[in-house]
């Protein structure tokens, strides 16, 4: 059983109890879901610092919105969508703030240092090249699809429901992600493919 | 299938095909060609590393601490809604004063004066008629900015 399937099995009855007002069940639900929320947030934000903010906001929204969980879709699908919407919203807000800050900076401090880029933050997180490339080189949609299908073993048809995409679009994004990531992997081992080059 | 073609297919293939487990021309090639199997093995190895590392990434803040913060923010937001909801009514009632924060009593705040707030008894915020109130949370849970404008 995949981690996501196990989470679904554990979290669904907890969500039902939390919806009925059981605060202990809600706390247990958060403990069970916390790492998964953070993982999705990291994949969507592509930056560890932003992922922490998204995760925190998701917990607040989960607390506020647990009443709306009706069990018509899988709990993990519902939670994924909350996480995704939160990540998109925080990203939009952050971009607006950054644009405003840039204008102020340009007006008052033309030579000030530029803010840290996501890839710098990821590098500081101390993770392997393959993870850094995954988080910084792939577009968000490709990261999401690759993470769910190839790393978390979610069936592409379920991913199409989670992301509200046509199955063919899921496959297209999956192939693009694999191609980009594998090209970067093989770049690090040129001896493996040098004989195949024209 | 020639190796150059196989490597192109390897770039998009499912992991099962890379392992040579499927009934496909690519899997058959990977099973019979050591060079292409080495490429496939390297891809599988790196993707396994990625899988393991993504599964092991933990948030910096422990779950219980994040939960406490979430409770705190949820309470703060509900109070903010309460305060914002009260503002027009208070203004319409013609209550005087710029900003009064107190715990039940009317204790005007001096500029720069710290006020101990008991969150079990939410503070009362009043504005002059026609003014609005905005309440901003900050990163410090002990600091809330109340803006009357």
* B30 within 8 A of B9, measured Cβ to Cβ: no
Residue A71: how many CA atoms within 13 Å on its side-chain side?
11
Identify the pLDDT of residue B99.
44
Neighbours of A111 (CB within 10 A): 5
Q: Which residues pair with B134 in a beta bridge?
A: B147
* pLDDT, average across residues B78-98: 56
* B78 within 8 A of A60, measured Cβ to Cβ: no
Identify the pLDDT of residue B106.
40
- Looking at CA atoms only, how far is residue A102 from chain B in angstroms? 22
CATH of domain A1-116: 1.10.1740.10
Residue B13, pLDDT > 90, answer yes
* pLDDT, average across residues B20-28: 92
Show residues of chain B in contact with A56, CB under 8 Å: 61, 66, 69-70, 73
Q: Report the alpha-carbon distance of residue B16 to residue B23 in Å, rounded.
A: 10
Q: Of B56, B129, B120, which is closest to residue B90 (Cα–Cα)?
A: B129
- Looking at CA atoms only, how far is residue A11 from chain B in angstroms? 15
Show residues of chain A in contact with B38, CB under 8 Å: 192
Residue B96, pLDDT > 60, answer no
* A171 within 8 A of A156, measured Cβ to Cβ: yes
Contact A196 B7 (CB under 8 A): yes
Q: Which of A158-167, B26-35, B58-67, B71-80 has the weakest average pLDDT?
A: B71-80
Contact A60 B74 (CB under 8 A): yes
Domain-wise residue ranges, chain B? 3-56, 64-148
- Confirm or reject contact between B81 and chain A (CB < 8 A): no
CATH of A127-190, one of 3.40.50.80, 1.10.260.30, 1.10.10.10, 3.30.70.2860: 1.10.10.10
Identify the pLDDT of residue A1.
75
The 3-state secondary structure of B7-76, one letter per residue: HHHHCCCCHHHHCCCCCCHHHHHHHHCHHHHHHHHHHHHHHHHHHHHHHHCCCCCCHHHHHHHHHHHHHH
Which residue of chain B comes nearest to A176, CA vs CA?
B12
Q: Report the alpha-carbon distance of residue A97 to residue B64 in Å, rounded.
A: 30
- pLDDT, chain B, mean: 75
Q: What is the pLDDT along chain A (198 residues), one digit of tens a residue?
A: 788 889 999 999 999 999 988 989 999 999 999 999 999 999 999 888 899 999 999 999 998 888 888 878 889 999 999 999 999 998 888 877 777 667 666 666 655 555 555 555 555 544 567 787 888 889 999 999 999 999 999 999 999 999 999 999 999 999 999 999 999 888 888 887 777 665
Identify the pLDDT of residue B100.
42
Antiparallel, parallel or unpaired: β B133-137 and B144-148: antiparallel
- Confirm or reject contact between B39 and chain A (CB < 8 A): yes
Give Cα separations from A146 to A66, A150, A153 (angstroms). 28, 5, 10
Q: pLDDT tens digits, residue range A27-55?
A: 999 999 999 999 999 999 988 889 999 99
Residue B103, pLDDT > 60, answer no
Identify the pLDDT of residue B104.
41
Q: pLDDT tens digits, residue range B120-135?
A: 565 666 666 777 777 7
Which residue of chain B comes nearest to A32, CA vs CA?
B63
Residue A166: how many CA atoms within 13 Å on its side-chain side?
3
Backbone angles phi, psi at B145, to 5 degrees: -100, 125
Show residues of chain B in contact with A49, CB under 8 Å: none
Identify the pLDDT of residue A95.
76
Reduced to 3 states, what is the DSSP secondary structure of residue B130?
coil
Q: Residue A8 corresponds to which tokens in the numbers above?
A: 């679904």
* pLDDT-derived band at B86, boundaries 50, 70, 90: low
Domain-wise residue ranges, chain A? 1-116, 127-190
Residue B64, pLDDT > 60, answer yes
Identify the pLDDT of residue B102.
39
Among A98-112, B25-39, B81-95, the range with the most confident prediction by mean pLDDT is B25-39
Identify the pLDDT of residue B37.
94
């Amino acid at each position: 059983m995949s981690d996501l399937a196990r989470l679904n099995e554990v979290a669904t009855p907890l969500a039902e109890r939390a919806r009925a007002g059981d605060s202990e069940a809600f706390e247990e639900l958060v403990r069970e879901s916390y790492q998964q929320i953070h993982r999705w947030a990291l994949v969507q934000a592509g930056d560890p610092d932003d992922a922490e903010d998204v995760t925190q906001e998701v917990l607040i929204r989960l607390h506020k919105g647990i009443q709306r969980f009706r069990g018509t879709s899988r709990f993990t699908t519902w939670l994924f969508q909350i996480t995704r919407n939160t990540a998109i919203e925080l990203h939009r807000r952050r971009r607006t703030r950054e644009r405003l800050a840039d204008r102020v900076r340009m007006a008052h401090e033309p030579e000030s240092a530029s803010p840290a880029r996501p890839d710098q933050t990821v590098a500081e997180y101390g993770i392997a090249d393959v993870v850094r490339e995954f988080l910084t080189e792939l577009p968000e949609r490709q990261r999401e699809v690759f993470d769910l299908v190839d790393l978390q073993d979610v069936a592409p048809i379920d991913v199409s429901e989670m992301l509200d995409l046509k199955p063919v679009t899921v496959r297209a994004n999956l192939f693009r992600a694999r191609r980009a990531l594998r090209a970067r992997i093989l770049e690090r081992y040129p001896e493996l493919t040098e004989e195949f080059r024209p | 299938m020639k190796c150059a073609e196989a490597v192109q297919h390897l770039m998009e293939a499912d992991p099962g095909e890379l392992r040579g487990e499927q009934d496909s021309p690519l899997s058959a090639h990977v099973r019979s060609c050591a060079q292409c199997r080495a490429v496939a093995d390297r891809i599988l190895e790196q993707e396994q590393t990625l899988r393991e590392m993504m599964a092991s990434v933990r948030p910096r803040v422990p779950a219980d601490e994040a939960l406490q913060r979430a409770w705190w923010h949820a309470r703060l937001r509900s109070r903010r809604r309460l305060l914002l909801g009260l503002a027009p009514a208070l203004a319409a009632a013609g209550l005087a004063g710029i900003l009064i924060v107190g715990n039940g009593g009317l204790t005007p705040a001096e500029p720069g004066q710290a006020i101990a707030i008991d969150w079990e008894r939410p503070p009362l915020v009043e504005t002059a008629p026609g003014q609005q109130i905005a309440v901003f949370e900050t990163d410090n849970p002990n600091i809330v900015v109340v803006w009357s404008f």
